Homo-oligomer: A and B are copies of this chain.
Amino acid sequence: MIEDPQITLAHGNGGRYMRELIEGIFARHLCNPALDLGLDAAPLDLGHALQPCITTDAFTVQPLEFPGGDIGSLAVNGTVNDLAVSGATPRFLTLNAIIEEGLATATLERIVQSLAAAARVASVCVVAGDTKVVPRGQGGGLYLVTTGVGLRDPACRLGLREIRAGDVVLVSGPVGDHGVAVMLARGEFDLQGAVRSDCMAVTPLTAPIAGLAGLRFMRDPTRGGLATVAHEIVAATGLDLRLWEARIPMREAVRSCCEILGYEPLYLACEGRVVAVASPEAAPRILATWRATPGGEAAAAIGVLGEGAGRVVLETELGGERVLEELEDDPLPRIC
């Protein structure tokens, strides 16, 4: 424990206070055999048969805590999920905390505790880290950065270039929960809602299907939501993606909240969902696997790829269709 009720600039200075911060909060919660505070660089025990992969992400969500998660669990799951959708088994994380002077020490401790719990659930070790403290007013409370290393079967061939006309697009669960949960937690709107973030590690959804023949591509629809993943797919392939609006799983609370505020829910971030592209033969098997896995119960086939002009076309519930444009204005900044 550190005694000061608030983080001060002295906690970032490389001296005694910083050591107390690191030992009293970070090391205490993140302690594992691979984390040695006396090392400048941590050795990675990767084995030899598998392909190491690396990914990194910064987290600046506001507020720091929200129903269903906080910036700590988000920082673990966001990076774990980038590895998982790449077909890798997440193994190691590094962590950077950029802390604003004046942050309540108790808040920091709750968040690091939540981060440590999320790392245990996701079976990843935090092996290296770094803290900085920035002056009051220059840090939004806390920014976290995590970098993840995972291992992948070298035979795994997932990627945008594997996608073919006729492939089906799947999503593992309802979209937009994280975006709406964080938005409501800000308290800027006079709206009540029982929406919790979907923040979770998707490894249980991705690991059983990563080697499946006919699986072409996976992505976690975070910033920019499902619509942004759809645009990545059509930009890379030149195909048209037709999305069936009625089949996209979405909670009623998310839908009505977006209607009231005029948001397009397909642009809202998820933090525990997977979008997959698969051959028509492989798709039913993926759906069956997902629906039998916690967090994947509402999985659905939501669209199909065909020859076209690189557009995302939404077939609406009323039988019409419209082109879903690439996101430009930001409906919800600082969602992750």
Contacts and interface: CB of A to CB of B under 8 A. Distances in A.
A contacts with B: majority SS: mixed
Contact of A56 (B17, B59, B128, B222): B128
- Chain B CB within 10 Å, residue with most, of A13, A46, A222: A13
Contacts of A220: 40
A4 to B, nearest CB: 13
Interface stretch (A102-110, A135-143, A244-252): A135-143
B41 A83 contact: yes
State the copy count for this chain.
Answer: 2
Contacts of A236: 38
9 contacts: A9-B330, A14-B225, A18-B224, A38-B236, A41-B82, A56-B128, A58-B96, A98-B145, A143-B143
A318 interface: no
A203 interface: no
Interface of A: 9-10, 12-18, 38-44, 46, 48, 51-60, 82-83, 85-86, 88, 92, 94-98, 127-135, 137-140, 143, 145, 147-150, 152, 159-160, 219-220, 222-225, 228, 232, 236, 267, 269, 326-330, 333-334
Contact of A44 (B10, B52, B95, B327): B52
A222 B13 CA distance: 10
